[in-house]
Amino acid sequence: MVRLLAAAHERTGELAKVQEVLERAIAASPLDAGLHGALAETLERLGDRNGAIARLERSLRLEAQHGARWLRLVGWSADRALKLAREIVAQRPHDANSWMALAQALPDSALDDRLQALARAGEASPRSIPVHDLRAELLARAGRTDEALAACRPAVFG
């Protein structure tokens, strides 16, 4: 219901009302990462980049597995995204999503570090398709075609 009300206000361009609805919903359900993510987008549209980043960071602390949110945070503040990803990995070193987040937050120029993070994610969750997909994508973009193709056929799947 909250998301429908927020969407209705958004359609009419009433972003301040969207913010109000989302803030009330977060007060009632503070662990809902989706609400924090939606509020981050709204704050950005209202011109509050710092507030948007803080909400997005809160969302990702709650649920690190949202790749689109990581990409958004990297776009808004690559340094803060990398810092947050490293904090999450330190807090949850056996969680594949934490390592995936780090792989997404690291700069393109750090290919070896990104692949290492994905290897750690793969150790934590060997059957994680997103881990293998991102590995293949990074290798393909680096021109390492044979390795990329091999990453598309992980041994764990037989």
- Domain annotation for the chain: domains and CATH numbers: 1-63 (1.25.40.10), 78-158 (1.25.40.10)
Range 7-16 average pLDDT:
87
pTM for this predicted structure = 0.86
From residue 140, alpha-carbon distances to 7, 78, 119 in Å are: 38, 23, 16
Provide the percentage of residues in the chain whose pLDDT is more than 90. 84
Q: 25: buried, middle or exposed (CB in 10 Å: 19+, 13-18, 0-12)?
A: buried
Residue pLDDT, tens place only, 26-64 = 999 999 999 999 999 999 999 999 999 999 999 999 998
State the Cα torsion 36-38-42-48 to the nearest 10°.
30
Euclidean distance between CA atoms 81 and 60, whole angstroms: 10
pLDDT score at 9: 84
pLDDT band for position 10 (50/70/90)? Answer: confident
Both tokens of 26, joined, read: 């977060």
Give the pLDDT mean for 152-157: 91
**% residues pLDDT > 70 (the chain):** 100
Cβ atoms of 117 and 106 closer than 8 Å: yes
The pLDDT value given to residue 64: 87
- What's the pLDDT score for residue 92? 94
The alpha-helical segments, DSSP class H, found in the chain are: 2-11, 15-28, 33-45, 49-62, 67-76, 78-91, 96-105, 111-124, 129-141, 145-151
